Amino acid sequence: MQKTQSSGMGILFLVVLIDLIGLTLVIPFLTYFIQDLATGDGFTDVGSRDLWVGIVLATYTFGQFLFTPILGALSDRVGRRPIIMIGLLSNTIFFIAFGLAQSLWFALIVRFLAGAGNGNIAVARAYIGDISTDEQLKARMGVIGAAFGLGFMIGPFIGGILTDPYTNFGGFFETGWWKSHPYFLPCLFAGLLSFMSFILAIRHLPESLPIEARAKPEENRNYLGQLVGNLIKIRDLSRPVQILILVNAIFLTSFTIMHATFILFTGMPIEDGGLGFDAKENGYLFAYVGLVGVLVQGGFMRSSLAQRLDSRKMMVFGILICGLGIGWIPYLRPEPFLLGLIPMTFIALGNGLFQPTQNTLLTLEAKSTSLDLGRVMGAQEGYGAMARIIGPIVAAFVWAETVDNPGKWDYHTVFRLSFMLAIVAVISQLALRLSHHGEEE
């Protein structure tokens, strides 16, 4: 049994890692891609053009918001493995389609469908909950966090290099078609990586949820209505689970506000207060963030010291240090470059501490109250997706209104807002009273 669990964790790690490399490949160039599409559709003003960046980012998570809770509950009925494979196949198809986009509307549709089909993160966390003891949870959630870190280290680096092969590589790519599709190669590569992960899952990923432990069809006769109830009121979840989901949603809103505008800021001309970076340089920055994430989640979170520390305190510290890094961003200058790595370190460190500890606490609370892990993780991902919808849209509107403003209400505003939300996330968890044993209240 222990050997099967270890094998399952190893394969799950590889599946999630390969999938996340594909997902993060688009990060360095997505902003520039949407800016090009918006300009081509007639949005030439900086504010209105950049507004579409937030809208397209939100479209992906809107699909996740609608469908991830359903996929999470479905995994309680049919098992985790089939749902994971559906997500991988969805990524394969829609990454490639996205690279062929020539209009904003096509990009919006494809990103929505990609988000709707990919519930892998929620189901992967439920998978870990299925095969782990309470003592193993923190370390194993850290392993998946390490996959995130490696994905963020490798994916953006490759994505930045593969962008615009007509200019960067020439030769085979020196044709009119590649010149008019500068973002297709990284999207194609991302799709092929997801397909590799799909094949790996088919051949080697064992099912984690035994048939006898699955939710019965009669128990889920009205499960769609129950899911809607969970998303709107979280009616059937315990108070600690509700608070943990709320804290996660607020933190993600803060994080995605920063994420939606980070490249808008780094890509701004230096004379306007930005850093003047291109896709390749942004790829290097995100690769560094991923490296720190690997060290934190794959190294520190698996150490004996991390196992002895209180998860709740680590979660709160992670929110604070990440918020501090976010608030620092708009004050960066192109030189010295090393100084810019300090806030990026804070962001990666804070996120690396928050994610596995919050997921550990949530899983332990769900188990202590006999809630289905797929349903709880699906609800968390649903609210997290809602936060990732609200964050980019709020960021886009604030950025569009302030980017050209002089004085105090300039492009700094959106990052200050993100920092304040991180503080709200800390305050929100003050009412948290854990019911399971082994964690201090």
Give the dihedral sign, CA 202/205/206/211: negative
Nearest to 365 by CA among 241, 237, 231: 241
**pLDDT at position 385:** 75
Q: Which residues contact 217 (CB under 8 A, 6 or more apart)?
A: 77
Superfamily of domain 2-208+224-431: MFS general substrate transporter like domains (1.20.1250.20)
Own/partner long-range contacts of 40-48 (Cβ < 8 Å, ≥24 apart) = 40/102, 40/103, 41/103, 41/104, 46/403, 46/404, 47/399, 47/400, 47/401, 47/403, 47/404, 48/400
Q: Are 332 and 273 in contact (CB under 8 A)?
A: no
Nearest to 127 by CA among 71, 89, 66: 71
**pLDDT at position 8:** 67
Residues of the chain with pLDDT under 70: 1-8, 119, 138, 142, 145, 215-238, 298, 370, 374, 378, 435-441
**pLDDT at position 4:** 47
**pLDDT at position 415:** 93
**pLDDT at position 99:** 93
**pLDDT at position 2:** 46
The answer to whether the bond into 336 is cis (omega within 30° of 0) is yes
Nearest to 248 by CA among 341, 121, 108, 345: 121
**pLDDT at position 36:** 92
Q: Where are the domains of the chain?
A: 2-208+224-431
* Cα separation, 297 vs 305, whole angstroms: 13
pTM > 0.95: yes or no: no
CA contacts within 13 A on the Cβ side of 1: 5
